Structure 1
Amino acid sequence: MELIHRNLLIGIHDALQETFFQDKKYADKVIERLLKANRKWGSQDRQVVSEIFYNIIRWKKRLEYYMGEGVKPNNVYKLILAYLLWSKSHYKKFEEFDGVKTADILNKLKKGYIPTKAIEYSIPDWLAETMEKELGPKWEKEMLALNEQAPTVLRTNTLKTSPKELVADLQDEGVPAFTIHGYPDAVQLEEKKNVFLTSAFKDGLFEVQDASSQTIGQLLDPKEGMRVVDACAGAGGKTLHLAALMKNKGQIIALDIFEWKLAELKRRAKRAGAHNIEARFISDSKVIKRLHNTADRLLIDAPCSGLGVLKRNPDSKWKIDQDFIDRIKKEQEQILKDYSKIIKKGGQMIYATCSILPSENNLQVEKFLTNNPDYSLVKEEKIMPSQGYDGFYMALIKRDN
C-alpha cells in the first residue's frame, strides 16, 4: 500500500490535535471542517483521512501502550506512526518518521502482549470496570463490536418515496445501497459516501438514521390523528420519523431545552415535507405542566452516556467519566418522573437511550414502575452492538390510570 501523502498526514495531525487538546471538540465536527477546508482532496484521499482519524481515536489507549507513553501535544505524529505500524497500512519500511524512531514500537508489536483488557479494547480503566460490572462476561464481545466502524444507514422518508425507490435513486447517483430485512424504512449504503451531496438528500427523500434508532418509532406506533409529544427532540431525527409514520396527520409537539436544536429541526422538517410538527422550547417547568394528560403517545429519548453508539462517536469515551454517568442517571430519573405525566390515561410512552448499561435502562424503568403503580411495562427491547447496528434500549410503557 502506498505511503500516505504528507499533506494528508498534516491534516490528520491537526485534526487529532484539535480533538484531544483544543477544548476537546467533537470528532465529527473536526473532520467535517478539515474536509471542507481541503476540497481539492480526491474521494479516496478523503476516505483514507477519515478512516485513519477515527481509527486512531478509537484505538488511542492501545496505541499509547505501543508508544510507551500517553498522547501529548508534541507527539501526535508518534501516535499516527504507532497506528500505521500496528495496522500495517499506508507506510513503507523506514527507520525514522518525523524524528520518531520506529524500533521501540515495532518491538512491542512483535511481542503481541497486552497487559489489560482496558488497553486491549482501548477504553479508560474506569469504563472497563463499569462495563464488566454491569454487563458481566459479555462486555468484551460488545466492546469488540463497538470498536468496529459503523455502517451508514438511511431512513427513507415515506412521505415522499419508498425504500425500493430510494435505492434506485441513489444507484442513479452512483451510491450503491440496499434495503435491510426487518427494518421497513431502512436503506444501508454498500460503502461510505457523502450522501449529503446527493439530489435525493436535497429533495428530502431520506435522513441518516441508524437501523436500531429507527426501531424506536416503529415500537411507539403512533397513529394518524394522534397527539404525540417528543419530549427530548433535539434536532428531530426521531421526530421526523414519527411524522412519516403518522402520514402528516395529527399533531407532534417537539420539545427541547436547546433552541438551536429546534431551529435545525424546523429546517429539516421543511426539507422532509413534515407539516404536523410544532417545536416548543422548554423555557421553564410550566411548558411541561401545560401538557400533562394531553398526549396519546410520548417519546422520551433520554440523555445518556452514549455508550451504545461508540461505533460512530468513538471520541465520546474519552470525554465522559463515571461522575458524568452518575449525574446523567439522576437526570434520567427526574425526566421520567416529570415527563411521564404528559400522556393521557390509556396512552403509551417510550423511554429510550443509546446506552447499553442496565443502570441507565431497565433498572431506571423498574425504579419508575415501582414508584408509579399506575404505569405498566408493555414491552422492552435491548439492542446490543454485537447485533450489527447501534446499541439501544427502549421500553414501551402504558399509563393505566
Structure 2
Amino acid sequence: MTENQVNVRLLALELLLEITSQKEYSHVALRGALEKYQYLSKQERAFLTRLTEGTVERLLELDYLIGRFSKVPVHKMKPVILNILRMSAYQLKYMDRVPDAAVCNEAVKLAGKKGFGNLKGFVNGVLRNLARNVHAIPLPDLSVRYSTPAWIVRQWTEEYGEDVAVRMLESQFEERQTAVRVNFLKTTKEELIRRLEEEGVHAREIEGVPCGLFLENYDYLRALPSFREGLYQVQDVSSMKAALLAAPKPGDYCIDVCAAPGGKSLHLSELMKGTGMVEARDLTEYKTGLIQDNIERTGARNIKAVCMDAT
C-alpha cells in the first residue's frame, strides 16, 4: 500500500475486468491507470504492469490450469472470481518472489471486498490446490502452452513447419527493450542522450539504426519532460527499419495504412525534411486520435491523420 492506500492487486483486478469484460485495449487501460495513479512507487507500478500484462498474455494457459482444480467450468464463473483466479494463478506460476500464501490470502480478501464473501472458500481451495501442483501440470498442446488461439497455431504450423512455429510462439514472451526514435526536428542524438541521463534514464545506441536508442532504468516514460516535449517517439526497431528502407525522397506523397499510433508515419515525415505529405490512415477516430496526439507532440507539419481504410 502507498500513503494514499491504493491496493495494487485490486487495481489490477479492475484493469482485468475492464480488458476482458468491457473489451478495452489492454495498453489503453493500463496507461490510464498509470497516469491516474502517478504517485505509486516504482515497485508498485512495475508490479501492476507485470501482473496485468502477464495475466492477459497467458489467459488460455491460466484458464486451463484453473479448470484442472475447479468443479465449476471456467466459462460459468463470475467475471470477478475468474479474474481473481487468473491473476493469482499467474503469480503462482510466473512471479516466484511472491509467496504462495500471500497470493492465496490476498485473493480471498479481494473476493470479499468485491462482495463475494460466500465464494472465499472456493477461491482459497482452488488456489491452494493449484499452488501445490502448478509446476507439475502438463499442458496439452501448443495453443495452451503459448496462450495462442488454436487456429493461429495450426496456420503457422502448416505454413512454416512446427519448429519455426514454436520459435514464433516463444518470441511472444521474450522480454523486449524499449526502443525510441530520436526526433531530429527538435534535438540531436547526443543532446537527447544527455537530457535523458539528467532525467535518470540510461540510453544506448542501436547498432545499424542511427536514429534509434534503447532506454533503460526509467519508471514511467510518459511522465518524463523529454517525452512530453516530443524529443523522441517510442518505436520498435523493425518499424524504424521499415521507414529507412522505404527511403522517401523530399516532396514525395506517402500513404501509411493501419498507421496508429503513427511511429512509421512520423518517421517518413521526418525523412522528407518537412516537404511532401504523409497521409497516416487508420479505421477509427480513436486510432487517428492517437496519431494526431503524436503529431502535435512531435511538432511534425507535413503529415495528416485520416480516418479511412486502404482503398
Per the normalisation by structure 1, the TM-score is 0.63
Give identity over the alignment, percent. Answer: 27
1:225 aligns with 2:251: yes
Q: 1:70 aligns with which of 63, 68, 74?
A: 74
Check whether the contact 1:114–1:120 (CA below 8 A) recurs between aligned residues: yes
Structure 2 match to 1:93? 101
* C-alpha spacing 1:21/1:95, structure 2 compared with 1 (3 Å): closer
Check whether the contact 2:179–2:235 (CA below 8 A) recurs between aligned residues: yes
Shift of 1:77: 1.7
Deviations 1:312-357 (A, max 9, x none): xxxxxxxxxxxxxxxxxxxxxxx4xx5xxxxxxxxxxxxxxxxxxx
Deviations 1:39-89 (A, max 9, x none): 432121011111111111111222222222536412322222212221223
Question: Partner letter of residue 144 of structure 2?
Answer: I
Unaligned segments of structure 1, at least 5 residues? 283-302, 304-334, 339-401
* C-alpha spacing 1:219/1:30, structure 2 compared with 1 (3 Å): same
Counterparts of residues 230-245 of structure 1 (less than 5 Å): 230-245=256-271
Counterparts of residues 131-210 of structure 1 (less than 5 Å): 131-137=156-162, 138-191=164-217, 193-210=219-236
2:250 and 2:99 map into 1 onto residues whose CA distance is 57
Question: Partner letter of residue 174 of structure 2?
Answer: E
2:277 and 2:294 map into 1 onto residues whose CA distance is 17
Question: Partner letter of residue 237 of structure 1?
Answer: G
Structure 2 match to 1:60? 59
Shift of 1:232: 4.6
Per the normalisation by structure 2, the TM-score is 0.80
Structure 2 match to 1:46? 45
Q: Which is helix-richer, 1 or 2?
A: 2
* C-alpha spacing 1:273/1:119, structure 2 compared with 1 (3 Å): same
* C-alpha spacing 1:267/1:14, structure 2 compared with 1 (3 Å): closer
* C-alpha spacing 1:196/1:35, structure 2 compared with 1 (3 Å): closer
Shift of 1:210: 0.8
Structure 1 match to 2:133? 108
Structure 1 match to 2:9? 9
Q: How many residues align?
A: 280
Check whether the contact 1:95–1:103 (CA below 8 A) recurs between aligned residues: no
* C-alpha spacing 1:65/1:214, structure 2 compared with 1 (3 Å): same
Counterparts of residues 335-354 of structure 1 (less than 5 Å): 335=310
Check whether the contact 2:91–2:103 (CA below 8 A) recurs between aligned residues: no
Moved more, 175-184 or 148-157: 148-157
Higher relative contact order (CA 8 A, sep 6+): 1
Check whether the contact 1:158–1:244 (CA below 8 A) recurs between aligned residues: yes
* C-alpha spacing 1:257/1:29, structure 2 compared with 1 (3 Å): closer
Check whether the contact 1:66–1:108 (CA below 8 A) recurs between aligned residues: no
Deviations 1:20-52 (A, max 9, x none): 122x11111111222334343212101111111
1:248 aligns with 2:256: no
Question: Partner letter of residue 74 of structure 2?
Answer: G
Check whether the contact 2:252–2:277 (CA below 8 A) recurs between aligned residues: yes
Q: Which is strand-richer, 1 or 2?
A: 1
Check whether the contact 1:167–1:179 (CA below 8 A) recurs between aligned residues: no
Structure 2 match to 1:128? 153
2:185 and 2:241 map into 1 onto residues whose CA distance is 18
1:200 and 1:110 map into 2 onto residues whose CA distance is 43
Structure 2 match to 1:25? 24
1:153 and 1:28 map into 2 onto residues whose CA distance is 17
1:108 and 1:189 map into 2 onto residues whose CA distance is 38
Check whether the contact 2:93–2:135 (CA below 8 A) recurs between aligned residues: no
* C-alpha spacing 1:113/1:252, structure 2 compared with 1 (3 Å): closer
